[in-house]
Amino acid sequence: MASQTGEGGAKNNASKRTLADYTTIVGSHHFNSIAKPRVNTTNMEMKLALIHLVKSNQFNGLSHESPYEHLTTFNEICNTVKINGVLDEAIKLSLFPFSLGGNAKLWLSFFPENSFTHWEDAVTKFLNQYFPQSKINKGKQKISSFSQGKEETLGHAWERYKSLRRKTPTHGFDEGTIVILFLGGLESQTKLMLDASARGNIKCKTLDEAYELIENMAANDNEMHSERGAPAQPKGVFQLQPYDALLAQNKIITQQLEILTKKVMQPQKEHQSVAQVQQQLCELCGGDHINGQCAVLENLNEDVNYMGNQNQFRPNNYNQRWRSHPSNG
Q: Which tens digit of pLDDT belongs to each residue from 131-171?
A: 999 999 999 999 999 999 999 999 999 999 999 999 999 99
**Quick check: is 234 in a domain?**
no
Residues 114 and 156 in one domain: no
Residue of higher predicted confidence among 79 and 46: 79
**Quick check: is 246 in a domain?**
no
Q: Where is the domain boundary, 102, 131, 160?
A: 131
The answer to which of 142-146, 201-205, 252-256, 274-278 has the lowest mean pLDDT is 274-278
Q: How far apart are CA 143 and CA 166, in angstroms?
A: 11
The total domain count for the chain is 3
Say what the pTM is. 0.57
Supply the pLDDT for residue 289: 62
What's the pLDDT tens digit per position in 70-119? 999 999 999 999 888 888 999 999 999 999 999 999 999 999 999 999 99
Residue of higher predicted confidence among 100 and 279: 100
| Structural domain harbouring 221 | 135-226
Residues 142 and 207 in one domain: yes
Side-chain half-sphere CA neighbours of 308 within 13 A: 6
Are 221 and 155 in contact by the 8 Å Cβ rule? The answer is yes
**Quick check: is 167 in a domain?**
yes
Tell me, rounded to whole angstroms, the distance of Cα 314 from its chain centroid: 96
Residues 104 and 170 in one domain: no
Q: Where is the domain boundary, 226, 251, 272?
A: 226
Q: Where is the domain boundary, 99, 115, 131?
A: 131
pLDDT at 204 over 60: yes
Q: What is the mean pLDDT of residues 2-9?
A: 52
**Quick check: is 274 in a domain?**
no
Mean of the per-residue pLDDT values of the chain? 77
Residues 52 and 113 in one domain: yes
Residues 209 and 142 in one domain: yes
Are 147 and 185 in contact by the 8 Å Cβ rule? The answer is yes
